[in-house]
Structure 1
Amino acid sequence: MVPMLETSARLLRLLSLLQARRDWTGAELADRLGVGLRTVRRDVGRLRELGYPVDAVPGAAGGYRLGVGAALPPLLLDDEEAVAVAISLRMAATGSVAGLEEGAVRALAKLQQLLPSRLRHRMEAFRAATVPLPGSAGPEVGADLLAAVAAACRDRRRVRLRYRGRDGVTAREVEPHRLVHTPRRWYLVAWDVAKDDWRTFRVDRIEEPLGSPGARFTPRPPPEEGTAAYVSHGITSAPYAHQARILFHAPLEAVAPRTSPGAGRLEAVDAHTCLFTAGSNSLHELAVHVAVKGFDFEVLDPPELVPVLREVRDRLDRAVTKSAEGSD
């Protein structure tokens, strides 16, 4: 009986490893399981007999990959993964990805039924302690489109997009790199083949259905400033009529909690100052935005923002004077 239990436990461990990563060499699996290559091959054969589509990966190193089957196999989740999935499903039920609400609720019901009591109590505490506050939601993104884009990023395959940009709908061939999301929108960072440069695409402006996956490509070095910073610059500065550079006389650690990647890019200059870069179509909005952060600052660019700040200051002074007179 003990050898059978050991074999079953090893099969579950093998299945968990195959689900955790796309490709494994036989040597890597043998090392993780503490067995020889022959045992790995036998265990892979047992998983196949149980209906799990484990594919052999060709090549000099060889290896294995969990393939696509006719039915969805059971997923093996540890405690932290199960809680993370449950919380994500609850959030997806009211999220900005169109078409996920009903499926998320059904999946959450199944998961909660299987959770051990120690994890179910954690989920119940989360549910009881949180109240959703409806706000201004961003444009919805189709779940199928989002999944297709994510798969293209993972598999490193070129994709042909029909993209609604400033010049109408255009055809773009891209090498997808990463999906980036803010609380309101999803963005795709990809190498535009025709423009021979990195570009940021709003996923809600990509027309469905997505084109069939194209040829595989070799990943390029990502943007120098990093993917998140590249998107932050693209969505907070580049599209706008006015680009501002504000030097805050406060450390980055103090200013950062009062801004967000979607509002502008924040960089440390030294231990006492930081640089805020943002864009807007309104100088008045820029003036108010930087003023209410609560730190001393100076305008580096654009010079046209300075008289607008004076105008806002004068209006606030008049408001304070009138309010004081009214209270006498």
Structure 2
Amino acid sequence: MSETTGRVLQLLGLLQSRRVWSGDELAARLRVTTRSVRRDIDRLRELGYPVHASTGHGGGYQLGAGAALPPLLLDPDEAVAVAVCLRVAAGGSVAGVGESALRALSKLDQVMPSRLRSQVAAVHDTTVTLAGATDTPVEPEVLMTLARASRDHEHVTVGYTDVRGNVTSRRLEPYQLVTTGRRWYLMCFDRDRDDWRSLRLDRMSDVRAVGTTFIPREAPDAASYVRRAISSSPYPYVARVRYRAPADVVARVFPAASVDVEPDGPDACIVTVGADDPQRMVPWLAMPGCEFEVLEPDEVVDAVRVVAERIARAGAGGD
């Protein structure tokens, strides 16, 4: 490979790694003059890569989207990661992606070195995807619009249907996408409600990026925020339960997306969880197999007593 060809490939890798580069930044990274950078940009354009140039504050070179997708530069770790993700996407939670993911995976497999192909095959052969795990697949356009808007700090508008069936228009500042494997959520700042929200993507409609940007706020941790929201906010009964066991032990019992677990000293923890029916919650609360105490609300405290008495009578009748 010639020095020029190697430099053009390195330039392509830089353009793929960040949204905008100035000519001076690229020249410094490639250790050439800005004139050489301009020549290499022209070579990429001749190869079909749509490289856009802009001037002024915040301007520079940017790799755009073209009518045809040129080949991507992937190092070995990236190639394996992409192949594994395509395997998961083939049976995943994004509508209509399964067949496309399989086609992309077959193309990637054809050009992969045998060493990398064996690594991917090892993951595939030892992985099983459970069918029917996804409640409502998300449209790819919705997912990509929100992903780009979150990355670029761009305002979005959406129509949203809440748990009661009410439809509202939301003006949002998107921050982070979170998936539980079954559902996708967006952690965002709702401009009209002046507060943070966790919104399900499958309940959104008419999702649009409006073109204006926002200055990012100090945001809560997305994973923790969404976990708390989906474990309690949709339910009429939200229980706080103290377990006499370490937080990491109890957390392994419950699905991560279903409860919020906080340490309460080295040998105890507080679990927050929601449910529609207090009595149906009780057997689930007993799953960790250790002593526990319901701190609140009274309805769940009473439900534990009722269910315990019912179980005791069933045990006495069995004697």
Q: Provide the C-alpha distance between the structure 2 equivalents of 1:255 and 1:58, rounded to a whole number of angstroms.
A: 56
Normalised by the size of structure 1, how large is the TM-score?
A: 0.89
Q: Give the percent of matched residue pairs that are identical in Structure 1 and Structure 2.
A: 47
Render the CA deviation track for 1:142-198: whole Å, top value 9, x for unaligned: 112211121221222212211112352221211211111112111112221211111
Gaps of 5+ in 1: none
How far apart, CA to CA, are the structure 1 residues paired with 2:159 and 2:106? 37
Which string of whole-angstrom CA distances, capped at 9 and with x for unpartnered residues, describes residues 250-294 of structure 1?
Answer: 222222212233111111222222211111111123222221112
In the alignment, the residues of structure 1 paired with residue 208 and residue 129 of structure 2 have an alpha-carbon distance, to the nearest angstrom, of 36
Q: Deviations over 1:90-146 (max 9, x none)?
A: 111111211111111110110111110001111222222233332443111111221
1:1-328 correspondence to structure 2 within 5 Å: 5-60=2-57, 62-165=59-162, 166=164, 168-207=166-205, 209-223=206-220, 226-322=221-317, 325=319
Q: Distance in 1 between matches of 2:122 and 2:86?
A: 16
Q: Distance in 2 between matches of 1:124 and 1:198?
A: 42
In the TM superposition, what is the alpha-carbon distance from 1:321 to its structure 2 partner? 4.5
Name the aligned partner's letter for residue 301 of structure 2: V
Contact 2:282 / 2:303 at 8 angstroms: preserved in 1?
yes
Return 35-44 or 161-170, whichever deviates more. 35-44
Please give the TM-score of this superposition, normalised by the length of structure 2: 0.92
Which range is displaced more, 4-13 or 195-204?
Answer: 4-13
Change (3 A) 1:307 1:73: same
- Kept in 1, the 8 Å contact 2:153–2:213? The answer is yes
Is contact 2:184-2:200 (8 Å) kept? yes
CA–CA distance in structure 2, aligned partners of residues 135 and 319 of structure 1: 35
Deviations 1:296-315 (A, max 9, x none): 22221113322322232233
Counterpart CA distance in 2 for 1:130 and 1:190 is: 33
Structure 2 regions of 5+ residues with no counterpart? none
Letter in 2 for 1:260: P
Could you say what secondary structure the match of 2:262 adopts?
Answer: strand
| One-letter code aligned to 1:305 | V
The size of the alignment, in residue pairs, is 318
Cα deviation for residue 246 of structure 1 reads: 1.1
Of stretches 26-35 and 165-174 in structure 1, the one that deviates more from structure 2 is 26-35
Give the superposed CA RMSD. 2.1
